Structure 1
Amino acid sequence: MNCNVGKIDKTIRIVVGIALIVLALTDVIGAWGWVGILPLATGFISFCPAYRLLGLNTCRRQS
């Protein structure tokens, strides 16, 4: 797996993932908040399968 999630993208994914999980735990948005596990996981591993399918890459190119 090559990195296809850049620093800014990674930070946004982690923050959104944590926020959704916290909202789910406090019953603000219900069970749908557990979807936050996906952006949280892709943020931590710096790889997004959907980006690969769509041909997207927000990582800087390595020389």
Structure 2
Amino acid sequence: MEVLIKTEDAIDAYKGAANLARSLGVSRAAISQWGEYVPEVSARGLVILQPSIPHIIKKPSVT
């Protein structure tokens, strides 16, 4: 299972990069290095902390 959260959505949900960083225990510099999407480990944590944050859960494809 993969959790996808756009970095912009996460920053908006926490009213700024500083608040987002504080909630995850990382630096603002770390967040500035994220690409379009929040890294998987952080995304899972955000869904636990704030389930209402816009996200997509991708299930592994079965072949």
Question: Do both proteins adopt the same fold according to a TM-score greater than 0.5, normalized to the shorter chain?
Answer: no
TM-score normalised to structure 2 length: 0.32
TM-score normalised to structure 1 length: 0.32
* Larger relative contact order, structure 1 or 2 (CA cutoff 8 Å, min sep 6): 2
Give the strand-richer structure, 1 or 2.
Answer: 2
